[in-house]
């Protein structure tokens, strides 16, 4: 970039729409405190640099761009005289800390009127005090409104997730309560049976044998493997026959319990061989209580483990105890989101996880990525009307990691495809959508992670693709 100062012409400035209503005195001040410069093809300023000047195009061609990942995406290209860019918010408090929000370059030798940011701020406040107050109100009001809307969107998502999590927690919690109640009954029955055994005509040696069998039985229950329906039915028949042959009434109920615990007729033979025949029925029933209590404790353990897993998943999803920016496993984030949304996804939607487990961990804001996954999954489920297939796929795409959400819904109409990322645009019925989910997702992926968010859609096959860099962009690393 080369700068060539030239003479400032008040009459030329008066022909620009920005300055056509100014007085001769005001035009004189502009020329006195500003300057005219010619820039050769190249950058005039770059995104992220300190915003020191306000530029007005006199002649030439300018290109405005924003950084998206490693690329500069062109947003405006114009040769219109009077087009302006640069430190346009210099009149706000703290202007000395402002930075350019995009890049400006010229494609041919171009001439600009250049005003230092400090002078621009002073002129705005001196000449247009009411306008400055209005602009400040609009600027900060827009920021506050966007913040409130974002918070509302998060609350709506949280409500949906809370309902799903409550549903998921209720099942294991209810199972644990039922098992605990049944366990109390079985323990009471075991105490009653034990009192009868100790009061009966059993020697100390027989009781010692019973306790030893009880311990070995409990060990077998803990190692029991589930059986197929046919194999379990055959084993129940064999055990019921054995119990009937040995004069133990109600053998069918005992047989089902023993089979669930992984016990068989050979085990009963070992019990019969160790116990006197007169003590056999009491011993078998006492061992039945032992088996039932072990099974119930297993059920309680499984239920509480499930609850613990769901709580860990909720913590993983919310990232409450994690740093905002960290190196993270995308698959863990995806799985936690799918678990949290399982109630909303429903039984009618089949979820397919097509993960490339060889993908590396990436630097990211995991809590915000979970918000992106939530929005995309929610949209996919809505598009399918609660029935279809949701495919979540990951793969490496050059120096980026790609996460794709595919659904078998109705698709995105080509006529609105360019509008789906626009704030407040929604195809959902009134009251069911804010029109901010995709806008928020786009800003999280593109602005915060320097990635990309794209959509491909035909009826029955819609795919939202999120691409994230594998390494930390320099500006993200500095701001993390």
Distance of alpha carbon 119 from alpha carbon 29, whole angstroms: 10
Taking the model in full, what pTM does it have? Answer: 0.46
Q: In 10 A of CB 26, how many CB atoms?
A: 16
What is the length of the chain? 480
Task: Tokens 């997702």: give the residue.
Answer: 441
Give the whole-angstrom CA distance, residue 43 versus residue 31: 24
Distance of alpha carbon 64 from alpha carbon 233, whole angstroms: 75
CA nearest neighbour of 318 among 270, 371, 361, 355:
371
Strands of 110-116's sheet, edge to edge?
Answer: 3-6, 35-39, 110-116, 53-59, 84-86
Cβ–Cβ under 8 Å, residues 43 and 96? no
Give the domains, in start order, of the chain with CATH numbers: 3-127 (2.60.120.10), 161-311 (no CATH), 322-479 (3.30.565.10)
pLDDT tens string, the chain, 480 residues long: the values are 445 567 899 999 999 988 888 899 999 999 999 999 999 999 999 988 888 899 999 999 999 887 755 566 777 888 999 998 888 777 665 545 688 888 999 999 999 999 998 888 888 877 876 665 566 666 556 566 556 555 555 555 555 556 566 666 667 777 777 777 777 777 776 666 666 666 666 667 767 777 777 777 777 777 777 778 888 888 888 888 888 888 887 777 788 888 887 888 888 888 888 777 777 777 788 788 778 887 888 778 777 777 766 666 566 565 544 556 788 899 999 998 888 788 778 889 999 999 999 999 999 888 888 888 988 998 898 889 888 999 999 999 998 999 999 999 988 776 655 666 655 445 554 334 444 567 778 888 888 888 898 888 888 999 999 999 998 755 444 443
Cα radius of gyration (the chain): 36
For residue 198 the two structure tokens come to: 């100790």
- Residue given tokens 């001769």 in the structure block: 24
Note every long-range contact of 66-69, with CB atoms under 8 Å and residues 24 or more positions apart, other chains counting. Answer: 66/101, 66/102, 66/103, 67/102, 67/103, 67/450, 67/475, 68/446, 68/450, 68/452, 69/400, 69/446, 69/450, 69/451, 69/452, 69/467, 69/469, 69/473
């Amino acid at each position: 970039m080369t700068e060539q100062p030239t003479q400032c012409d008040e009459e030329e400035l008066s022909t620009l729409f920005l300055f056509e209503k100014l007085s001769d005195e005001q035009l004189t001040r502009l020329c006195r405190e500003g300057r005219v410069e010619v820039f050769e093809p190249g950058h005039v300023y770059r995104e992220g640099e300190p915003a020191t000047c306000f530029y007005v195009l006199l002649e030439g061609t300018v290109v405005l761009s924003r950084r998206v990942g490693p690329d500069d995406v062109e947003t405006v290209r114009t040769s219109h005289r009077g087009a302006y860019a640069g430190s346009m918010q210099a009149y706000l408090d703290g202007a000395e800390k402002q930075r350019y929000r995009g890049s400006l370059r010229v494609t041919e030798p171009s001439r600009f009127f250049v005003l230092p940011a400090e002078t621009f701020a002073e002129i705005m406040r001196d000449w247009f005090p009411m306008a400055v107050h209005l602009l400040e109100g609009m600027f900060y009001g827009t920021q506050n409104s966007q913040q409130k809307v974002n918070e509302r969107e998060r609350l709506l998502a949280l409500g949906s997730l809370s309902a799903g999590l409550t549903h998921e927690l209720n099942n294991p919690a209810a199972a644990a309560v039922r098992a605990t109640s049944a366990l109390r009954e079985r323990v009471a029955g075991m105490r009653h049976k034990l009192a009868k055994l100790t009061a009966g005509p059993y020697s100390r040696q027989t009781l010692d044998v019973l306790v030893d069998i009880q311990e070995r039985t409990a060990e077998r229950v803990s190692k029991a493997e589930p059986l197929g329906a046919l194999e379990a039915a055959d084993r129940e028949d064999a055990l019921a026959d054995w119990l009937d042959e040995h004069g133990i009434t109600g053998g069918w109920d005992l047989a089902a319990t023993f089979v669930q615990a992984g016990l068989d007729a050979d085990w009963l033979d070992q019990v019969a061989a160790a116990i006197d025949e007169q003590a056999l029925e009491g011993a078998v029933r006492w061992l039945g209580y032992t088996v039932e209590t072990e099974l119930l404790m297993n059920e309680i353990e499984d239920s509480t483990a499930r609850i613990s897993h769901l709580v860990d998943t909720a913590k993983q999803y919310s990232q409450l105890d994690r740093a905002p920016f960290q190196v993270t496993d995308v698959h863990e984030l995806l799985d936690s989101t799918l678990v949290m949304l399982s109630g909303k996804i429903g039984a009618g939607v089949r979820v397919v996880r097509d993960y490339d487990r060889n993908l590396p961990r990436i630097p990211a804001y995991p809590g915000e990525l979970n918000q992106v996954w939530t929005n995309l999954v929610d949209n996919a489920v809505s598009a399918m009307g609660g029935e279809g297939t949701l495919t979540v796929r990951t793969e490496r795409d050059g120096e980026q990691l790609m996460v794709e959400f595919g659904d078998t819904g109705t698709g995105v109409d080509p006529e609105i495809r360019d509008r789906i990322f626009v704030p407040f645009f929604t195809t959902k019925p009134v009251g069911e959508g804010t029109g901010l989910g995709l806008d928020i997702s786009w800003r999280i992926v593109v602005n915060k992670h320097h990635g990309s968010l794209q959509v491909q859609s035909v009826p029955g096959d819609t795919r939202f693709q999120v691409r994230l860099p594998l390494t930390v962009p320099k500006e993200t690393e500095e701001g993390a």
